[in-house]
Amino acid sequence: MKSKKLKVQRRKHKNLQFYLFTFAFLLAVPGCAVPHVPLRVVYEDPANFVRLETDPFVLPEWPDSRHSHPMAISPEEIAGILKGLTVRDHRIALYLMFAGEAPREPVFRDDEVALLAPRLAEALARAKPDERVAYYLSQPQTSIKREITSGGLYVREHHLHFILGNHRIIYGIPAYGMVYDRRYPMRPTAAKGFDLYFEPVEAVVPQLSGILDRLFGREKDEVVIDLQKLRRSKPVAWGISRGA
């Protein structure tokens, strides 16, 4: 009798795991229907944009989930942060034994830093506590393909959360249906194959990752930067203040 009850409990547990995993998977897959995200455009041209989006993880009934927006950070400081971000191809342990670590490369080119820095600074200064900043950069490759780099950022207290959803990904524009890379810039359009880093490393806030972080690909695509430590690491102070 006990054995039969145990089998039933195990079956229920496995069913629950399956349903939870399926639900999470459907949310993670770009091809699935996702609710429209309210947004405000800060800058847009035919290939790039910076905008403000309502953050679904900020809950009205949970004040601690609100961001420290608006936040005044100078374009010069934003440029320094963008230049401090690097990315490296992710390699499994067996590959590392034979080939070693892949070289790091800057996340953004100089022209991309020049385009993004003043717009991201403006977006953070205009952002509401329940909004996050999204950025999107693209370069046409063919009539139906483009290279994209996209993600987002927000500030909570003195911590800047920087997300790299896609880096130099070749995105095939669908002939029909939703164009997801522009609509959801923080969502990966392909399997994550990179790790994100920031220098100076002393300003990086270590983060604990869980099963959902690994499932949604957030484990290696987000860095949290302590703005106070970053200021102390620079020879000149950068102005950071809460907006009015």
SS3 (DSSP) at 79: helix
Q: Distance (Å, rounded) from C-alpha 9 to C-alpha 78?
A: 53
Across 20-34, 168-182, 186-200, 202-216, least confident range:
20-34
Query: Which pLDDT does position 193 carry in this prediction?
Result: 77
Position 130 scores a pLDDT of 97
CA 151 to chain centre: 4
Same domain (yes/no): 57, 27? no
Token pair, residue 123, equals 């977006």
Are residue 93 and residue 132 in the same domain, yes or no? Answer: yes
Looking at the fold, whether 21 and 76 belong to one and the same domain comes out as no
Q: What is the pLDDT of residues 3-36, one digit of tens each?
A: 444 343 444 444 444 344 444 444 444 444 445 5
The CA distance from 133 to 162, in Å, is: 10
d(CA 132, CA 54) in angstroms, rounded, equals: 6
| Separation CA 118–CA 126 (nearest Å) | 12
> 195 and 237 share a domain?
yes
Query: Are residues 19 and 140 both part of a single domain?
Result: no
Domain check: are 83 and 102 in the same one?
Answer: yes
Q: Are 25 and 73 within one domain?
A: no
Confidence of residue 205 (pLDDT cuts 50, 70, 90): very high
Mean pLDDT, residues 180-192 taken together: 88
pLDDT over 70 (residue 129): yes
Q: Is there a contact between 213 and 57 (Cβ–Cβ < 8 Å)?
A: no
Q: Are strands 71-73 and 105-106 parallel, antiparallel or unpaired?
A: unpaired
Structural domain including 151 reads 34-242
Top-confidence residue, 169 or 90 = 169
Of the listed ranges 8-17, 138-147, 210-219, 227-236, the least confidently predicted one is 8-17
**Number of H helices and number of E strands within the chain?**
7, 11
User: What integer pLDDT is reported at residue 33 of this predicted model?
Assistant: 47
- Sequence-distant (6+) residues with CB within 8 A of 37 are 53, 54, 56, 183, 184
More confident residue, 226 or 31: 226
